[in-house]
């Protein structure tokens, strides 16, 4: 079990907090709006009304002991920066921030955020990837230039093993996992494993290379 702190209870912060708690983690939430905190008081481990911009407030909550803090304040860049600085100065090892755009993302990265998400852009990229090819089941953006695509096994690869296909050399991508039709997930795939029609592959690579594979 891990311990998480979620700062800001807008739609994003609330959804993250509830899902983390649902998955069996300890979740502390903090927001300045009492009504929003009250809504989650019985649905997370600990709900606090307070100003996370105040380092003493965070210190009193013992945030140095959380495994990860999610700053989901939204469009208030100054507040996000101050909270991020407070969390890092108090020793939080991993701070993940939500940002509305690239400008905010760069600013938060400069002050120490370990990861910055732009949810709207990431959902747009995922939707575009899924709509572009019927073979794409899911897509996770790692950067503007690369990601991980979950795809059905391309027709030319069925009945061949990874050594024969020579995926990395010919296509510039890496197969990092495989899920069988029965749901069994394999991370370490043998080079001599013969791909089957119902296999689903998780492939890491540049967006251009992934697009090429999706069109096979």
Q: Which of 55, 9, 54 is nearest to 28 (CA)?
A: 9
pLDDT of 59: 96
Low-confidence ranges of the chain (pLDDT < 70): 121-136
What is the edge-to-edge ordering of all strands in the sheet holding 46-49? 46-49, 26-31, 3-7, 68-71, 95-98, 115-117
**What domains are defined for the chain?**
3-117 (3.40.50.720), 122-214 (3.30.70.1450)
Asked if 92 contacts 70 with a C-beta cutoff of 8 angstroms, the reply is no
Which residue stretches of the chain are H helix? 11-22, 34-40, 55-60, 77-89, 102-110, 119-132, 162-165, 167-171, 207-214
Residue % of the chain over a pLDDT of 90: 61
Structure tokens at 194: 């013969």
- The predicted model scores a pTM of 0.65
Start-to-end CA span in the chain (Å): 42
pLDDT of 123: 64
pLDDT of 9: 95
């Amino acid at each position: 079990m891990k311990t998480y702190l979620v700062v800001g209870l807008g739609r994003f912060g609330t959804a993250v907090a509830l899902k983390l708690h649902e998955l069996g983690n300890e979740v502390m939430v903090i927001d300045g709006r009492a009504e929003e905190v009250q809504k989650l008081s019985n649905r997370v481990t600990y709900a606090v009304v307070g100003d996370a911009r105040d380092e003493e407030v965070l210190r009193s909550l013992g945030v140095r002991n959380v495994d990860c803090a999610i700053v989901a304040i939204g469009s208030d860049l100054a507040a996000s920066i101050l909270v991020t600085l407070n969390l890092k100065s108090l020793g939080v090892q991993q701070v993940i921030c939500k940002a509305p755009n690239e400008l905010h993302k760069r600013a938060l990265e400069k002050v120490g955020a370990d990861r910055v998400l732009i949810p709207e852009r990431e959902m747009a990229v995922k939707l575009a990837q899924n709509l572009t090819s019927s073979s794409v089941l899911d897509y996770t953006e790692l950067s503007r230039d690369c990601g991980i695509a979950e795809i059905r096994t391309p027709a030319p690869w069925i009945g061949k093993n990874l050594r024969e296909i020579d995926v990395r050399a010919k296509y510039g991508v890496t197969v990092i996992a495989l899920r069988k039709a029965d749901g069994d997930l394999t991370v370490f795939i043998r080079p001599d494993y013969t791909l089957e029609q119902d296999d689903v592959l998780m492939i890491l690579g540049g967006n251009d290379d992934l697009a090429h594979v999706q069109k096979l």
